[in-house]
Chain A
Amino acid sequence: MRILIVEDDREAAAYLVKALREAGHVVEHAADGDDGAHAVTTGTYDVVVMDRMLPKRDGLSIVQDMRARGDVTPVLVLSALGQVDDRVDGLRAGGDDYLAKPYAFTELLARVEALARRHRPGDVETSYRVGDLVLDRLSHTVARAGEDVVLQPREFRLLEYLMKNAGQVVTRTMLLENVWDYHFDPQTNVIDVHISRLRAKIDKGQDKPLLHTVRGAGYVIREPAK
């Protein structure tokens, strides 16, 4: 995946570039607003990570220009401003996701990968399958090893989001944002409790669990190793 990072803090940028490369991505870096604006017009990327406050040019104005040109490359806006209002500003300018500094790298990686997947064409599947777990989006049914699993509506959406991103780590905040549409810090990890309920319904009594906790990052649903 080709990723452009527009970030003026050298240390933060170097860390991001190194970590994203280790995760197997091709990374380019622009150190100020003008460079960033130039890079997004000349290069092709799967995801752009845009810092909001940049020397020479405001990050949000670059995103606005991209959208005005019809450029739909997914953009993750990074900012030290982390309030609800700031997030709304970032998304209104055309950003696809917003992450407040300081952030955990696992959070950024999970969001960048989710953005790239969301953007991939032909992503209108009517059912998801992971191992012997099948989720039918049309009939709203879930079956594990051929047996129906009864889920509450919210549990269904939770599983749907996890399966849509199967094999990729999704963080707790991503789940809170995408399943509940809340962007605040819930203080207690309420998400963990919902996950353990879901796990009890789909993994209990199975010898090969599908839903895994990734320490320090979040959760992943994936096929059992052969």
Chain B
Amino acid sequence: MTLRAALADRFAALGRLARTTAVRLSLLYLVVFSAFTVFLIVGVTHDAGRLVTRQLHEAIDADVEALQDQFRDGGLVRMIDTLDDRGRRPGAGLYYVVDTAGNPIAGNVGELPPGALAADGDDDDPRPLPYVRFENGREVEHVALVRSFRLDNGFQVLVGRDLGERDRLRQVFRKSFRYVVVLMVVIAGLTWWFLSRRVLRRIDQVSAASRRIVDGDLSGRLAVTGSGDEFDRLAVGLNDMLERIGGLMRGVKEVGDAVAHDLKTPLTRLRNRTEAALAGPESAEAYREALEATLDESNALIRTFDALLTISRLEAGAGPRDAVAVDVAALVREVCELYEPLAEEAGGTLVAEIAAGDHILTGNRELLAQALANLLDNALKYGRDANGVPTVVVSLAGSDGDLARSGGDRGAGGAAPDRDRILGRFVRLEASRSAPGSGLGLSLVAAIARLHRLDLSLADAAPGLRVTLAARHA
């Protein structure tokens, strides 16, 4: 690998690192807090400096006033005494007195640069002045804040205070700022470490798990640590979603298998019949017969597909479309009236028992009617006694606003273990394989019930089967 390629590689790795949330958050933290700290330190230093300067001003003004008082009360000698006395105190200020000719006559400063004394005699405010001071035998340059004034005898006096204290204060602040910056870099580093180790690792785990699921392992689930934090809630939510998707996928697969299995039979029949007709005698009548049978078989196939499509669409939906307030009593009466002649033709009875009161259900009238029609159709087909006579009772009971519709019937009710299976698609109990029908009727009822939040249950009515559709309490 050439050096250039190696460098490019290193930069790419850096780029990836810079794109991680941890690095971005840490950098952001660092920048924001540094800015705040700079602002804070500059502000505090500035204010503290001003405070110190003002104190110096006050001290100088007090000195000036005291010296002027001394001069007024005791003349030059007393003033110089006081001046010498003050000048010898530790941490004393600057004192300097010159006569009218400019010769120094007293003070604790060796030499002052030219222009140190105000030309016109009096300073209104203190001003900074560089000067040289002997410390341990060495000349050290200092800056002082000074104010000079003229005495009545023409002598000039200079009073000052060294600014070293203010500068030392500033240095203390600057030093502490450096400590704070180092501390912040350390905290940013810790933040980055925490985010990348703890938080981002969880996110990476979620990404990795999703990747596995996307790659086809639908049974995979996200890890839940049990800490109940945001990641756990996210994982639980995603797992629920995966469960639902898995359920739908299983449904699709079941339909696929069922379609393959159950639809192949009529398709094979169709094909064989056509083949037999082509191979058989060339008579118009035989052809006609074969074509008619083919047409019937195709129609049955189309119905099966339609039912499958309807069920899939209902199962995918969240609620009924075009929902209106449906008068269930009227609906039960209508559908029973539609099917009553079928029962009568078979020598049986179809009775509707409707409890008094309003029976209103919000839903799709067409779908509810279809559900009831399918139940009645099944009841009339399978709810027959030994003599083949169907007896079907539909009762609409309303208790506490609860709507219940049941297609109770008597006959081959289905053995208990078969009852749950009945609701699956294409399930037709072996005993009834010979009766016409796609085997989708009850699945459709179940899908419509789910869409309308009705609980569908099957129970042994001894004899017969009781199908109950109960509205869930809101």
* A100: chain B residues within 8 A (beta carbon): 306
Residues of A within 8 A of B151 (CB): none
With A193-B341, A216-B295 known as contacts, the answer to whether A187 contacts B366 (CB < 8 A) is no
B134 within 8 Å of A (CB atoms): no
- 8 A Cβ contacts from A46-65 to B: none
B239 within 8 A of partner (CB)? no
Interface presence of B369 (CB below 8 A): yes
Give the distance in Å from the alpha carbon of A186 to the alpha carbon of B338 in the complex.
Answer: 10
Question: Quick one: which of B307, B369, B437 has the most chain A CB within 10 A?
Answer: B369
Could you tell me which residues of chain B, from 289 to 331, have a CB within 8 Å of some CB in chain A? 292, 295, 298-299, 302-303, 306-307, 309-310, 313, 321-322
Residues of A contacting B295 in the complex (Cβ-Cβ under 8 angstroms): 216
Contacts of A194 in B (CB 8 A): 338, 341
B345 cross-chain contacts in A, Cβ below 8 A = 193
Q: Are A102 and B373 in contact (CB under 8 A)?
A: no
Q: Which residues of A contact B338 (CB under 8 A)?
A: 180, 182, 186, 190, 194
- Interface size class on chain A is 20 to 34
* Per-position binary interface string of chain B over residues 413-451, scored 1 when its CB falls under 8 Å from any chain A CB and 0 otherwise: 000000000000000000000000110010000000000
The A94-125 residues at the B interface (CB cut-off 8 A) are 100, 102, 104
Are A184 and B370 in contact, CB atoms less than 8 angstroms apart?
A: yes
A41: CB under 8 A from chain B?
no
Cα A88 to Cα B321 in complex, Å, equals 10
> Is B191 an interface residue when CB atoms closer than 8 A count as contact?
no
Q: A102 contacts B302, CB within 8 Å? A: yes
B292 contacts across to A, CB distance below 8 A: 216
Partner of A197, one of B310, B341, B381, B441: B341
Knowing A82-B309, A182-B366, A216-B295, the reply to whether A187 touches B341 (Cβ < 8 A) is: no
CA distance A84 to B342 in the complex (A): 25
Cβ of B156: which chain A residues have Cβ within 8 Å of it? none
A82 to B313, CA, bound (A): 11
In the bound complex, how far is the Cα of B316 from the Cα of A85, in angstroms? 14
Q: Is B108 an interface residue (CB 8 A)?
A: no
Is the CB–CB distance between B339 and A182 below 8 Å?
Answer: no
Q: Name the distance in Å between A165's Cβ and chain B's nearest Cβ.
A: 21
Residues of A within 8 A of B322 (CB): 85, 88
Across the interface, do A84 and B337 meet the contact criterion of CB distance under 8 Å? no
Contacting residues, chain B, for A185 (C-beta < 8 A): 303, 306-307
* A188 interface contact, C-beta 8 A: yes
Q: Are B337 and A154 neighbours in the complex by a CB distance under 8 Å?
A: yes
With A84-B367, A180-B338, A216-B295 as contacts: A188 and B377 at CB distance below 8 Å: yes
CA distance A194 to B337 in the complex (A): 10
A85 with B321: CB separation less than 8 A: yes
CA distance A194 to B334 in the complex (A): 13
Whether A188 contacts B381 by the Cβ 8 Å rule is: yes
Chain A: minimal CB distance from B187 (Å): 59
Q: Which of B307, B364, B369 touches A182 (beta carbons < 8 Å)?
A: B369
- Residues of A near B370 (CB, < 8 A) are 182, 184
B395 at the interface (CB under 8 A from A): no
**Closest CB in chain B relative to A176 CB, distance in Å:** 8
Among A88, A183, A190, contact of B341 (Cβ-Cβ < 8 Å):
A190
With an 8 A cutoff between CB atoms, is A141 at the interface?
A: no
Instruction: Decide yes or no whether A44 CB sits under 8 A from chain B.
Output: no
Flag if A187 contacts B441 (CB, 8 Å): yes
A178 within 8 A of B: no
Is B349 an interface residue when CB atoms closer than 8 A count as contact?
A: no
Contact with B along A67-108 (1 / 0, CB 8 A): 000000000000000111100100000000000101010000
Q: What is the bound-complex CA distance between A188 and B292, given in angstroms?
A: 19
User: B37 interface residue, CB < 8 Å from A?
Assistant: no
Q: For B70, what are the chain A residues with a Cβ–Cβ distance below 8 Å? A: none
Q: Please tell me if B374 contacts chain A, counting CB pairs below 8 Å.
A: yes
- Residue pairs across A and B with Cβ atoms less than 8 A apart, 27 shown, are A83-B310, A83-B313, A84-B310, A84-B364, A85-B313, A85-B321, A88-B321, A88-B322, A102-B302, A154-B337, A180-B334, A180-B338, A182-B366, A182-B369, A182-B370, A183-B366, A184-B370, A185-B303, A185-B306, A185-B307, A187-B373, A187-B374, A187-B438, A188-B377, A188-B380, A190-B341, A216-B292
Known: A184-B373, A193-B342. 10 other contacts (CB 8 A): A82-B309, A84-B310, A88-B322, A180-B338, A182-B338, A182-B366, A185-B306, A185-B307, A188-B377, A194-B341
Closest 7 CB pairs of A and B: A193-B341, A184-B370, A187-B377, A84-B366, A85-B321, A193-B342, A188-B377
